[in-house]
Structure 1
Amino acid sequence: MIPLQVGQSAMTAGRTIGEGDVSLFAGLVGDFTPIHVDETFAKTTPHGTRIAHGPHSMATAIGMATHTGLFGERVIGLVNISWDFSGAVKIGDTIRSRVTVEELRPTSKPGRGLATYGFEVLNQRDEQIQRGRMKVIVRLDDKAEAGQ
């Protein structure tokens, strides 16, 4: 595991969101809102086509971030997520995210810390479509991480 440092940042690989992704997510969570699954209806909306579920895009951004080395086996549990959705993800869009370690502090339990990660989710045109923060409990294996 690479040591965590405040200000450390990584860009994820891109992931194209396909029709199967949207259908699978709809079935998984039971959300069959027409804007996601009914192309005829979706053509009548300002988007002009179906869009991915916001939480699906958020989860994809977080999932892709697990490949950056900023999480790994150090993550123990999720504490909080705060997320803003400023743009839609259409079927065929490719998203990626910039992830930054915004805060890292030890907790009262030895060897554990609270890490805050900032996310900026971008589409293939480099437009920001989501922004969020995720707080997780992490294992602090390095003395520098633990603030010693």
Structure 2
Amino acid sequence: MSYLDENSLNMSGYSIKEIYIGMTRSVSKTISESDVYTYAGLIGDINPVHVNEEYAKTTRFGKRIVHGMLTASFFSTIVGMLIPGADAIYLGQTCKFLLPVYINDTITATGVVTKILPEKKIAIMETTVRNQKGEIVVTGEATVMATKVIE
């Protein structure tokens, strides 16, 4: 996994006072066959469209696809590691899956702060995942709480 902006990685997290509208963070990853098998085994979703190449050839996709929730799970990396980072509480996430992700695709998940409720320590982010072609494959909205306290 690689962070698009290494300087944005803040291991101590951000307080709600440090988060601002338009704050943007991204993370990229090339999804390997091993990632798909590990995820399938971990959650028990061994649907053949994900793990059986011969079966997947007979589907409308023509080859194996990555689990949609594996793709969307990178929103958690943004919340837990980037915005707010440490001490974040994930309150909610919506997802709309627009295009399939295939094994060996490189995806980039991005979160952009669109609203802040300072009295509740809540930030709302527009979330997207793009593939290496720049196509949006997942969209959604994250609701997060920034619990870090600054002195």
TM-score after normalising by structure 1: 0.82
Unaligned runs of 5+ in 2: 1-12
Q: Which residue of 2 aligns with 1:127?
A: 135
Question: Quick one: distance in 2 between partners of 1:140 and 1:79?
Answer: 15
Q: Which has the larger Rg? A: 1
Q: Deviations over 1:121-146 (max 9, x none)?
A: 10000000000111122126469xxx
1:74 Cα deviation from its structure 2 partner: 3.9
Q: Deviations over 1:74-120 (max 9, x none)?
A: 41x2221111000111001000022101111134xxxx511112111
Q: Which residue of 2 aligns with 1:91?
A: 103
Mapping of 1:19-98 within 5 angstroms?
Answer: 19-63=33-77, 66-67=80-81, 69-75=82-88, 77-98=89-110
- Out of 86-95 and 53-62, give the one that drifted further: 53-62
1:60 Cα deviation from its structure 2 partner: 2.6
For residue 55 of structure 1, give the secondary structure of its aligned residue in structure 2.
helix
Query: What is the letter of the counterpart of residue 23 of structure 2?
Result: Q
User: Percent identity, aligned pairs only?
Assistant: 29
Query: What is the letter of the counterpart of residue 67 of structure 2?
Result: H
Query: What is the letter of the counterpart of residue 47 of structure 2?
Result: T
Aligned partners of 2:26 and 2:111 also within 8 Å = yes
Aligned partners of 1:121 and 1:131 also within 8 Å = yes
* Residue of 107, 112, 124 corresponding to 1:116: 124
Aligned residues: 136
For residue 72 of structure 1, give the secondary structure of its aligned residue in structure 2.
coil
Q: Which residue of 2 aligns with 1:146?
A: none
Unaligned runs of 5+ in 1: 144-148
TM-score after normalising by structure 2: 0.81
Question: Quick one: distance in 1 between partners of 2:69 and 2:31?
Answer: 13
Q: Which residue of 2 aligns with 1:11?
A: 26
- CA-based RMSD of the aligned residues comes to 2.0
